[in-house]
Amino acid sequence: MRKSLVIAIISIICILFASCSKEESASTSQTATAEKEKIVILGPACTLAEEQAAWDQVIASFTAETGIEVEQQRQGTWDDTLQRLQTRRISGEQVDLIVVGMGTVSASLAPAGQVMDLTELMRPLYDRFPEGVLDSCTLGGHLWVIPYQDASGTSCFYNPDLFEQYGLSVPTTLAEWIDVAEVFSANGIIPFMIQGGDNWAWAMPFFDTYGQATGGESVERVEEWLSGERSFNDPEVYEAMNALKALFDNGILTSESFATDEDAMLANFVQGRTAMIFGGTWIYASLKSMNPGFEIRATEFPVLIEGAEPVHAFATGDGALAIPSWISDDNLENVMRFVEYILRPENAKAIICANAGGNPIFEVVNGAIGESDVVTEFLNEVSVPHSVTYLDWIWPTQINDAICSVMSQVVGGRMSAEDAASYVQDQLDTLVSQEDYVYAWWDSWSEEDWQEVTPATIPDVTAWEV
């Protein structure tokens, strides 16, 4: 999920893709000939040996059932995958499925016409997913990736033993948080930490406070802004930024957070040096593996803006599967047969649970979930209903970089919210004027553009269901 770490490589890939004309892409798509009865998956190496073993087992069963071989070209990192994809596209080598994140697809691959529109291909399989799961994998009303990894969101985790020791309740508002912070600080405990040493992480708390400031309509505001209908120099933006500054001004967020990366934040938490932390829900598995001497609890990021409701970021689509727009038409039926197979509950559960270290937090594919606990129940029942899509899956990576760079300055009192918003607005203006950035690129596509990403035929996936 460390989305901002791939900013440089995504920019490079965007340039490479943009340099290839639509005409070249169209001709290439017809020359990528698949080997008979073979599917090639391109992606990064699996993080856990258990996940790779699960993929191997499911693929072996698929081949035994269908006679179709599946070659896994899984190596390197997320960054490497984009470079390898470009190389194979140019050389006409077979690639049928890409393991990729929706953030990368929305930032580069989809606008460049490099991934197939899956809307009609997947329509008969929509019932394999819980309601709403496909929303964050959709752009312009079209589905671009198949979610196939645990979802994630933003959340606070806290040490209930420390709160009980000092007779404190978990804060839900800024006023309550100030009182709690005073008690913890007086007893040598850091009240609250974020991983401010990881520059990419500064956007995450802004997602939550901007959601509060906009009444849960942060996605709509960002879409209007990127479309040129409003400016980032906006009172709601100032309010969201200043709300985070209030954490520092009131001793809730302390100077330690500015130099603390994720590993150090987790270590401080499990060792009882901080009472509460904020991050992506993916850190929960790491926290459990560190065997803290207390039972971890989750809570919503407190409301910092008077009269607001809690709002969090949440999305599916990391570690998802996309189909290159230039694959051989002759192999699409085999690919969709494989997709149907891995979306069967028993197969999805084997792979997704292994990827999540045994127990996903969220159910992304129906049946692909393990036993819940008090934290996963809270996240699913309380946090998700109060969530909207990650904003960095909507705005360009250059904008995310700009927001991350100014947020620490605002929170630390070295830049005003107004100046920070102006800086971010300037970055967007530059993208529009110098790189012809258009947010709703799908509205500007011609019929020929859509034809290049639309499958020539739609295989009947229901024929293989069991």
What are the start-end ranges of the E strands in 24-82? 38-43, 69-74
What CA dihedral angle connects 454, 455, 458 and 461, to 10 degrees?
-100
Number of domains present in the structure of the chain? 2
d(CA 350, CA 334): 21
DSSP state string for 303-359: B-STT----EEEE--TTEEE-BTTS-GGGHHHHHHHHHHHTSHHHHHHHHHHHTTT-
- Is residue 370, in this structure, part of any structural domain at all? no
Amino acid at site 327: I
Above pLDDT 90, what percent of the chain?
A: 85
Please give the biggest Cα pair distance in the chain: 70
Return the structure tokens found at 162. Answer: 């420390």
Do 141 and 156 belong together in one domain? Answer: no
pLDDT at 79: 77
DSSP SS3 for 45 = coil
- Is residue 278, in this structure, part of any structural domain at all? yes
Do 304 and 331 belong together in one domain? Answer: no
- Is residue 353, in this structure, part of any structural domain at all? yes
Do 311 and 405 belong together in one domain? Answer: yes
- Is residue 381, in this structure, part of any structural domain at all? no
Provide mean pLDDT across the span 9-14: 46
> What residue has token string 């830049």?
415
Q: Give the least confident one: 4-13, 55-64, 393-402.
A: 4-13
Is the pLDDT confidence value at 29 over 60?
no
Q: What is the pTM of this model?
A: 0.88
pLDDT at 82: 87
pLDDT at 35: 55
Is the pLDDT confidence value at 183 over 80?
yes
Return mean pLDDT, the chain.
92
- Is residue 116, in this structure, part of any structural domain at all? yes
Q: What is the CATH number of the domain that holds 170?
A: 3.40.190.10
Is the pLDDT confidence value at 20 over 60?
no
- Is residue 347, in this structure, part of any structural domain at all? yes
Is the pLDDT confidence value at 9 over 50?
no
Do 52 and 118 belong together in one domain? Answer: yes
pLDDT at 386: 95
Provide mean pLDDT across the span 288-310: 96
Q: Going by DSSP bridges, is the β-strand pair 97-100/38-43 parallel, antiparallel, or unpaired?
A: parallel
Do 198 and 213 belong together in one domain? Answer: yes
Is the pLDDT confidence value at 372 over 70?
yes
CB 154 within 8 A of CB 1: no
Provide mean pLDDT across the span 359-377: 94
d(CA 386, CA 300): 9
Residues spanned by the domain of 335 = 3-151+316-364+441-464
pLDDT at 77: 85
Is the pLDDT confidence value at 232 over 80?
yes
Provide mean pLDDT across the span 256-269: 97
pLDDT at 218: 97
- Is residue 23, in this structure, part of any structural domain at all? yes
Is the pLDDT confidence value at 465 over 50?
yes
Angle between helices 332-342 and 49-66 (to 10 degrees): 120
CB 411 within 8 A of CB 248: yes
Is the pLDDT confidence value at 304 over 90?
yes
- Is residue 386, in this structure, part of any structural domain at all? no
Do 122 and 257 belong together in one domain? Answer: no
Do 405 and 273 belong together in one domain? Answer: yes
Do 343 and 408 belong together in one domain? Answer: no
Q: What is the pLDDT of residues 67-125, one digit of tens each?
A: 999 999 999 887 788 889 999 999 999 999 999 999 999 988 999 999 999 999 999 99
Cα of 175 vs its chain's centroid, Å = 31
Do 260 and 401 belong together in one domain? Answer: yes
pLDDT at 189: 98
> What residue has token string 């499911």?
58
Is the pLDDT confidence value at 36 over 70?
no
Do 85 and 145 belong together in one domain? Answer: yes
Do 211 and 254 belong together in one domain? Answer: yes
Do 28 and 167 belong together in one domain? Answer: no
**Backbone φ/ψ region at 256: left (φ over 0), alpha (ψ -120 to 50), beta:** alpha
